[in-house]
Structure 1
Amino acid sequence: MKKRPYIFFVALLLLFILSGLSFAQNPNSLKQLQKRITLHMENVPLNKVLDKIQEQANIQLVFSETFIPADRIVSVDFKDVPAGEALRKVLAQTSTDYKVTGGGQVVLVPSESGAGTNGSNSSSGTIAGLVYDSETDKPLAGANVFLENTSFGAATDEEGMFIINNVPPGKYTVVVNYIGYSQKSTIITLEAGDKVKLNFALQQSLMDLDEIVVTGSRSGKEKRALASPVTIISENDLKLMPIEDMRDLFEGKVPSGYSLDIGFTNRNRQTIALRGSQVFTTYNNTVKTYINGVEVADYGYSPLASLDYNDIEKIEILRGPMASTLYGSGASGGIIQIFTKKGSGGRTRFNFRAYGAATSTPWVDKTPYSQNYSLNLSGGSSVRNYKVSLLRSIADLPYPNNGVKDSKWRLNGSIGLTNGPLTMNVEAGFGSSVYGSVNNPLLLKLKEERGWTNAPSSWDKIRDRQYTNTNQLANIQLRHIITSNWYQKLTLGYNKTKIKNNSRSPDLVWYFDPDSGWTQVEKYYYLNRSWTKRSLNYLTNAKLGIGSDITADLTAGIEHTISDVDYLNANLDVNPEVVRALALDNGLVTNYQDINTGYYGEAVFGYKNSLFLTAGLRLEDNSNYGDEYGLDKNPRVGLSYAFEFDNFQIKPRASWGKSTKAPLITQKDYQESAYAIFLANPDLGPETQSGYEGGIDLYYGEIFSFEVTYYDQMVKNGITPINVDNPDTPKREYQYQNINEFFNKGWEIAGKVLLNPFTINFTYSSTDSRYGENQSSANWKYKNGAKKLYTPQSTASLGIGYKVPAFIPGSYKGGFVGLDVMYTGKMLVDNYLRLYDGFYNPDIPRLDPNDPENLKWKDAFYKIRLRLNYWFTNYLSVFVDVVNLTDYQDGAYNEITPAVGRVTKFGLDIQL
């Protein structure tokens, strides 16, 4: 592999330039505020005056248009006065003042006499203010500010400012939560027309029992009330850990979560699992994915292939059926809920990220490089906001290929509107990815080394195909506050994924000839698949007080989804792009629809904000259930108790739940092929998973958190074809039935230690996944007690982070250095080398299907990831991310699939 030493010189030059830019920043804002200025302007917008003050005093003002009426017409006349005095006088005209933070920022904030009036009326009040880091004075964007036991709340914008309008008069507890910081609260009394200003300085903390989690109950609950563990990956975590696919999420961040590396040739397929395998096939996922409350279509291909990960604000992950009951069919393995960034009040924000990446590979002579760019614009006010983002990437391939590079682009946009108690958010996105064919060089190497002289000639030829994936995702969300403690929410979602796989020139395909049977011939291959999912979800939530000590949090809703699948597959003698009609006439066309309706309800009763009892039920009807099956019933119960002991916060918890996976329409209805008949099954039901879990969450002060969980889950009614052949009929007959079962048991451990400036994260999980008593197959691999394939016995991770202090004048953000070690334990897999020896080496006999040598243990392995970033100014940072630092090349799920080697990324972030 050729070296590129000039890359390091370019990197050093870039660092030098950025360092020069950083030293150009003003080192002392307080001193600059004493600089005397002269300014005379009449009847001009306020923002023009502020621009002039910044220019003459050489300072940078940070403010949000939520509070600062930038278009207000003002007049000023200052002659040789300090810039600070001039600034305070002009701001007095808008009920605003300024604050100089410890980091040297000049932040405009509401004055004591007024907090802003956008969207308010005389019969209600307004609460506004600033949320910032108590040590650095850095504003905290995305902090959750809400009035306890009500439906009123807001998130802080990029300047850390918030505003809550239309609050009825009364006494309230104002609470502020931000992931990774301690909760703060204060009690206020609001009169009609009041404008209350509140500033909150939050301290870093690992105690997260007061964080609001949406995924656990759909309506949002404090973590202390949840009876099941949840993993939260915050925006700050994502900034320090760039992710490009779901595998990045599961490596070392989620206890008992793993993603099989199925090789670069299958790079748009992702197999993810939580707590062992929940299905009877290798590729299907039973982890349901939502983006902003909208279910994403997932049929084995990555549901997030076109998502711009720089748009993500937060990710919540639930594990197992105990927590995912309310989400219905397909959620038996767990839930991934992704929340994207929204527009916020204030001036227009500009974020730009660019990076290049180099992949280490022994399979091509030229080092593969990639380029990645993302742009994000957002802004607005307290009553309207917007966000637009654009992603573009292009990459060389690390294996022999047909010359078509991997490329991707995506455009997303959102608009938010607030009118009194009604909030509406509209989001839409469209993305496309194009990639070409690659060969499997490892297979060719093994062919020579192991004497596979009978291997098919197609191995030696690179298919000339182009793959195009397109994805559309849109949603409309309406949230209506009925009273201070009762709201309703309606979400309409649309998601469409389309995959095209076309030959650009003839290649070898398998073709069935009635006379000679299956053979390989040269044809144009054409495949066109599309999955469309339309969804409606309505929920209502009420928070009630029963006496002084008991609370009740009640949620009820209905979810309705319609999924359409269109599939066209053909082998043609001409290019299908030239004559597409031939594909329709000569191919296999499949169209079917899946309709699912769920009715759910949940009640969480709390006693003194310590003891919580959860009870929930989901009733579900699916068009693919057998005609005689009826409604499926999925209950859940849970109990948690949070208490203090000296400096410890302790929360034991336990829960039980049930969830399902619906049959496919091809399994329910009558199907007939040229060789067999599949009979309809009117009693066919879903695959089910149920079980219990118990654990404890432990916190020591603000510096240590630890959780441990034991789970025991049984998968029953696995759907499999059963031979029900009638010897008097010419075709063999089968029927899909609910037969198979297996179980997953295991332990999960996760913890974090905060020793400023160091942070230590660790996870460990052990999984015992085995087949149960009832099995449809006589194959020894599936007998009672046999290990499930492709399920690691254990996984673990250790992450050490160091917060680099801001040592450059004018920059307060500093940087971060992180080292992560991810461990994957041994797993039982198919012995492909021995299998292929029997198929393709004429001197080695084939194995009997019941021979234990068909399976083998894949050795445990580990990977290391190194991450560095530093803000050379408050607006510009440089980062390096090295994935698979040791260049481990044997991480794929089998021995004939090459894994991706070390990937080194170098880039920059600009935030204005």
Structure 2
Amino acid sequence: MRRYLLFVGLLLFAPLVGHAQSTGSVAGTVTDANDRPLPGVNVAIQAVQRGAATGPDGSYTISALEPGQYTIQASLVGYETQRATVTVEAGENVVQDFVMTAASLNLDEVVVTGQGSEVSRRALGTNVSTISAEDIQETPTTSIDKLLQGRVPGSTIRSQSAQPGQGALINFRGITSVFANQTPVIYVDGIRVDNSSSTSFSFGGETTSALSEILTNDIERIEITKGGAASTLYGSDAANGVIQVFTADGEAGETEVTFRTRQGVDFPVSRFFKDTGFSFPETREDEDSPDFGRTNYIENEFLRRGYSQDYYVGVSGGSEAITYNLSGRLQDGSGVQPNNSNTLYALRGNVSADVAEELSVQFNGSYTRSNFTRLSNGTAIADPLTMLEVGDAKFFTGTNNLRDALDMATLPQIKEGVDRYRLSARAAYRPNELFNSSLTVGIDGRTNEQRALFPREADPLTGNTNGSLTRFNRDFKSITLEYRGTISYPREGPVTSTFTFGAQGFRDEESQVWAEAETFALPGTEDVGEAGSVVADELREQVFNGGVFFKEQLGYENRLFLSTGLRLDGNSAFGEDVGVQVYPSAELSYILTDEPFWQGSLENVLSQLKLRAAWGQTGKFPDPFTRDVTFQATSFRGASAPRFDNPGNANLGPEKTSTLEGGFESSFFDGRFGLDFTVYQSRTTNALFEVPEQPATGRGLQFRNVGEIRNVGTELSADVRVLQLENLFWQVGGSWSWNQNEMESLGGAAPFNIGGSAEFAQQRVKEGQPIGAWRATTPYDSNGDGQLDASEFRFTGETPFPVHTGAFTTSLTVQNFRLFALADWATGSEVLDWGSHWASFNGLERAPRPQKFDENGDPITDADGNPVDFSTAEAGSALLQDGDYLKLREVTLSYNVPGSLLDVAGIDQGSIYVTGRNLWAFTRQELVDPELAGLTDTDNVALGGSQSITLSPPRQIQVGVEITL
């Protein structure tokens, strides 16, 4: 039997061995001008469509090359593309190193997102942003949402709070819908993944997010389209844009082991609290109070320093036939407030194999386990931070001092565990240089379990005499299947053509089960089944989307490109009378500086100029089952009683967003100065609103495609190489974006409020106004005597989301030292301060309100003759705080240890860094952190801009070490 197996093995592997002996390879190292290795560089031989990405030490290997002469190209975002010609001999390895210099514009950079196939940036008529592996190394963040802050022009990215498990609200180019969240679609290695920003019970408005587990481990690059024409090929799911993450492959050669560790300290940000010296006056006035002298109780006794540690081990390598990249990560941390711990375990693997010369396969897999504890927050009575700040701590806990109140407020245990896995397989078939194709299949699964136990000892907080327990489970699965093919003919000559076609489909399934249990006979009980009273419910949803796409790109002299595309989509949420939806697109790109007449004196000033324009449509499909006539059964007197639920709509279709954009990309003075400009206009038609049915039918509300939404804006980014010497490099950059949003038509529907509204301040949807424009009770002079004597609802002229956003960056390299800093800013919004509203119930004026007069112009006074101010119900405008901010987001100092020192220890590469995040902030007020999205627990679109007492993300100082063996 053993002889038989050996014989079969020789038959299987002999062709591969023979093939390897008749081929050669190219290998080398890519470094920058300061001899630092550059990871993530795309080294490719375009003639045969073979390539590799450099590893942590900057090395690469391209194997299984037939003997002959090849042109090799090395490209990386932010660097000038380098080329070299090599001659490969059978059975030999050619060494070809590259030294890359920084560049403000690289037209040879290859992108994939929104194009259907690999396309050089020179051929793009749309704006696709790219974040490289080097960019990721510059930041201490571990999740993708925080990584994007300040790095993507045209984006608004706002955190929720400092609590673990939360992700940011992400929005590109304005609000395009009022019925659904604005989070872009996210793909990882070609697989659509869960991007929900609300995956749990909120316990006060702040929810956990699926974005927090999309880690920055082993990412080669990230490509971002911001909706519109760049996202057309994604059809009915991409009106909010697309974020595509590509993880790193292994490289042929000796096994490399990379170890990273990071230790950090978190410092709480307390500047937005007036603290107990304000909320409990007796702490500074009453010497007999047990709290006397504790005027900064929140800062000194509630908040604390947090600690974090992070360990990573990665192993990569392989042969000419098969490569691998495996890694594991452990993270543990304690937050800056009680009951805020978190742990994370992550495993990831990637295996690529050349099955034959024309066929390669790749397998990717990852698993993440997260555990964390949280506090009640925001609007919850049990939120200790709110109780301390607004004066409710003793009242709600039934205690007579702050220490006992805090002990009781931290008794509730809110725990959550998340299991997430992602598996994908991809086969690429390239029979020749004219045709290539790929098939990708994969699944993303996420299961989380949340338990919130309010023990018997915390009775005053809930009113339950024997404790309560809330249990929430969510199970999500997304299956993706995609085929893409590309025909490139002719590939050479004055006119070139690339035709891409394919099919793509996904199926999302989500189930939620929750139970609320009360009255436990025994202390320490944590099971729903042991409660005296249990109320439970369940939700199940599924949606399927499938489509085919086609794209033709014509090129002339490699400087003029015209592309047209088409996507045809079907979706299980469409009404039965809707049919297939069509999404067309067109793009134009023209490299003016490649014209012969530009060569010479003109190119010395304006080195590169690309003009581009694009138009395209994309969509957003309705929620599952909103098209259907449905009934619901509820419990009534011990029986299941049916009732009418949804009237249904056979004509229900997707919202469609049409975008026209244009702009240019340019570099001046031999690439020392780069400028990128985009102007766009998008219009969403068939916007979905809940429209009342005829009252006599008793059918309530039904979603219908009746509205129109308009967004116009500009995006500008620039970077300058200030100095570029042998051992000194200094670069600065900046970006600015502007967006104007307007609800053009409600289609006959009445104006309505959406999430974040209060009885005195509303996020209003009204024709002629931005979506969610603030409308608040406003004191005014009703009789012209110059005194405020009445109040009415008025629009404030501001929105819950910023109108202007931008960032500044600088990078300074001196020999082996590098200093990087990033600051981002936003203006043009207002934030509703719920905390000041709660404080007013205790007679505390946290946010000043105007004095109230009567119709005769006399001040209104109380029984003691003291002037009376307008109440918060009458002066909601006083609770809207200025949302402008400027934050120093990141500062990192790194040192690459010289090779002469590392060789002694047998280390290939080593670096040490110190990094800080959220180090400094400027705001125009001191009551709320304007960056925070705040309360996001809403059935409508989450715009943010509405906060209770919310703790800002902490200041972080971290020290890290990375070595490669």
Which bin holds the TM-score, normalised by the shorter protein?
A: 0.7 to 0.9
Partner secondary structure for residue 217 of structure 2: helix
* Matched-pair contact (CA < 8 Å) for 1:662–1:686: yes
* Matched-pair contact (CA < 8 Å) for 1:650–1:699: yes
* Matched-pair contact (CA < 8 Å) for 2:390–2:842: no
Match of 1:617 among 566, 571, 574: 566
Aligned twin of 1:782: 765
Summarize the Cα distance change of 1:839–1:224 in structure 2 as closer, same or farther, 3 Å threshold. farther
Aligned twin of 2:436: 487
Partner secondary structure for residue 264 of structure 1: coil
Kindly state the Cα deviation for residue 800 of structure 1 after the two structures are TM-superposed.
1.2
Partner secondary structure for residue 621 of structure 1: strand
Aligned twin of 1:431: 368
Kindly state the Cα deviation for residue 702 of structure 1 after the two structures are TM-superposed.
2.9
Match of 2:585 among 636, 649, 657: 636
Aligned twin of 2:796: none
Match of 2:825 among 813, 823, 826: 823
CA distance in 1, matches of 2:89, 2:313: 43
Kindly state the Cα deviation for residue 193 of structure 1 after the two structures are TM-superposed.
8.4
Match of 2:358 among 409, 417, 421: 421
Q: TM-score scaled by structure 1?
A: 0.78
Match of 1:558 among 503, 509, 517: 503
- Pairs within 5 Å for 1:641-652: 641-644=590-593, 645=598, 646-647=603-604, 648-652=607-611
* Matched-pair contact (CA < 8 Å) for 2:502–2:548: yes
* Matched-pair contact (CA < 8 Å) for 1:157–1:345: no
Aligned twin of 2:738: 766
* Greater Cα offset, 856-865 or 694-703: 856-865
* Matched-pair contact (CA < 8 Å) for 2:307–2:334: yes
Match of 2:181 among 252, 271, 284: 284
Match of 1:306 among 189, 195, 213: 213
CA distance in 2, matches of 1:272, 1:576: 39
Match of 2:476 among 520, 531, 540: 531
Cα deviation digits, residues 474-500 of structure 1 (max 9, x gap): 100111112122111011111001121
Match of 1:867 among 883, 887, 892: 892
Match of 2:312 among 356, 374, 377: 374
Q: Which amino acid aligns with 1:653?
A: R
- Pairs within 5 Å for 1:469-488: 469-488=418-437
CA distance in 2, matches of 1:748, 1:271: 20
CA distance in 2, matches of 1:583, 1:693: 61
* Matched-pair contact (CA < 8 Å) for 1:127–1:198: no
Q: Which amino acid aligns with 2:960?
A: G
Q: RMSD value over aligned CA atoms?
A: 3.6
* Matched-pair contact (CA < 8 Å) for 1:509–1:525: no
Q: Which amino acid aligns with 2:827?
A: G
Cα deviation digits, residues 359-393 of structure 1 (max 9, x gap): 22244353111111111111112211112111111
Aligned twin of 1:513: none
Summarize the Cα distance change of 1:171–1:911 in structure 2 as closer, same or farther, 3 Å threshold. closer
* Matched-pair contact (CA < 8 Å) for 1:660–1:686: yes
Partner secondary structure for residue 19 of structure 2: coil
Cα deviation digits, residues 83-123 of structure 1 (max 9, x gap): xxxxxxxxxxxxxxxxxxxxxxxxxxxxxxxxxx9877399
Partner secondary structure for residue 919 of structure 2: coil
CA distance in 2, matches of 1:441, 1:166: 60
Kindly state the Cα deviation for residue 688 of structure 1 after the two structures are TM-superposed.
2.0
Partner secondary structure for residue 665 of structure 1: coil
Aligned twin of 1:667: 626
Structure 2: tracts of 5 or more residues without a match: 1-14, 199-208, 271-297, 399-404, 635-642, 754-763, 772-798, 845-867, 900-908, 923-927, 934-945
Summarize the Cα distance change of 1:859–1:192 in structure 2 as closer, same or farther, 3 Å threshold. closer
Summarize the Cα distance change of 1:194–1:130 in structure 2 as closer, same or farther, 3 Å threshold. closer
Aligned twin of 2:512: 567
CA distance in 2, matches of 1:583, 1:388: 49
Partner secondary structure for residue 300 of structure 1: coil
Q: Which amino acid aligns with 1:696?
A: F
CA distance in 1, matches of 2:395, 2:744: 37
The alignment status of 1:598 with 2:572, answered yes or no, reads: no
Q: Which amino acid aligns with 2:82?
A: K
- Pairs within 5 Å for 1:322-471: 322-361=229-268, 362=270, 363=298, 364-401=302-339, 405-419=341-355, 420-440=357-377, 461-462=409-410, 463-471=412-420
Kindly state the Cα deviation for residue 253 of structure 1 after the two structures are TM-superposed.
0.8
Kindly state the Cα deviation for residue 501 of structure 1 after the two structures are TM-superposed.
0.9
* Greater Cα offset, 378-387 or 150-159: 150-159
Kindly state the Cα deviation for residue 582 of structure 1 after the two structures are TM-superposed.
9.2
CA distance in 2, matches of 1:695, 1:507: 63
CA distance in 1, matches of 2:528, 2:836: 44
Summarize the Cα distance change of 1:751–1:887 in structure 2 as closer, same or farther, 3 Å threshold. closer
The alignment status of 1:709 with 2:658, answered yes or no, reads: no
Aligned twin of 2:756: none
Partner secondary structure for residue 366 of structure 1: coil
Kindly state the Cα deviation for residue 298 of structure 1 after the two structures are TM-superposed.
1.9
Cα deviation digits, residues 516-556 of structure 1 (max 9, x gap): xx999943111100110011111011211177201111111
* Matched-pair contact (CA < 8 Å) for 2:139–2:890: no
* Matched-pair contact (CA < 8 Å) for 2:345–2:369: yes
* Matched-pair contact (CA < 8 Å) for 1:306–1:410: no
CA distance in 1, matches of 2:580, 2:164: 37
* Greater Cα offset, 233-242 or 831-840: 831-840
Summarize the Cα distance change of 1:868–1:721 in structure 2 as closer, same or farther, 3 Å threshold. same
Aligned twin of 2:6: none
CA distance in 1, matches of 2:679, 2:440: 35
Aligned twin of 1:881: 915
Kindly state the Cα deviation for residue 246 of structure 1 after the two structures are TM-superposed.
3.3
* Matched-pair contact (CA < 8 Å) for 1:838–1:844: no
Cα deviation digits, residues 102-153 of structure 1 (max 9, x gap): xxxxxxxxxxxxxxx9877399754514243374455544432333354333
Structure 1: tracts of 5 or more residues without a match: 1-116, 511-517, 806-813
Aligned twin of 1:273: 171
* Matched-pair contact (CA < 8 Å) for 2:33–2:101: yes
Summarize the Cα distance change of 1:242–1:543 in structure 2 as closer, same or farther, 3 Å threshold. farther
Summarize the Cα distance change of 1:566–1:859 in structure 2 as closer, same or farther, 3 Å threshold. same
Identity of aligned residues (%): 24
* Matched-pair contact (CA < 8 Å) for 1:454–1:841: no
Summarize the Cα distance change of 1:246–1:487 in structure 2 as closer, same or farther, 3 Å threshold. same
Match of 1:792 among 796, 802, 823: 802
* Matched-pair contact (CA < 8 Å) for 2:363–2:426: yes
Kindly state the Cα deviation for residue 399 of structure 1 after the two structures are TM-superposed.
2.2
The alignment status of 1:898 with 2:951, answered yes or no, reads: yes
Summarize the Cα distance change of 1:445–1:235 in structure 2 as closer, same or farther, 3 Å threshold. closer
Q: Which amino acid aligns with 1:784?
A: E
CA distance in 2, matches of 1:176, 1:622: 41
Partner secondary structure for residue 135 of structure 2: helix
- Pairs within 5 Å for 1:79-94: none
CA distance in 1, matches of 2:330, 2:232: 37
* Greater Cα offset, 530-539 or 336-345: 336-345
Summarize the Cα distance change of 1:186–1:865 in structure 2 as closer, same or farther, 3 Å threshold. closer
Cα deviation digits, residues 47-91 of structure 1 (max 9, x gap): xxxxxxxxxxxxxxxxxxxxxxxxxxxxxxxxxxxxxxxxxxxxx
* Matched-pair contact (CA < 8 Å) for 1:831–1:853: no
Q: Which amino acid aligns with 2:359?
A: L
* Matched-pair contact (CA < 8 Å) for 2:686–2:708: yes
Aligned twin of 1:719: 688
CA distance in 2, matches of 1:265, 1:664: 29
- Pairs within 5 Å for 1:737-752: 737-752=704-719
Partner secondary structure for residue 237 of structure 1: helix
The alignment status of 1:203 with 2:139, answered yes or no, reads: no
Cα deviation digits, residues 791-845 of structure 1 (max 9, x gap): 211111111111131xxxxxxxx12112222111131444535665788879998
Partner secondary structure for residue 587 of structure 1: strand
Kindly state the Cα deviation for residue 190 of structure 1 after the two structures are TM-superposed.
7.4
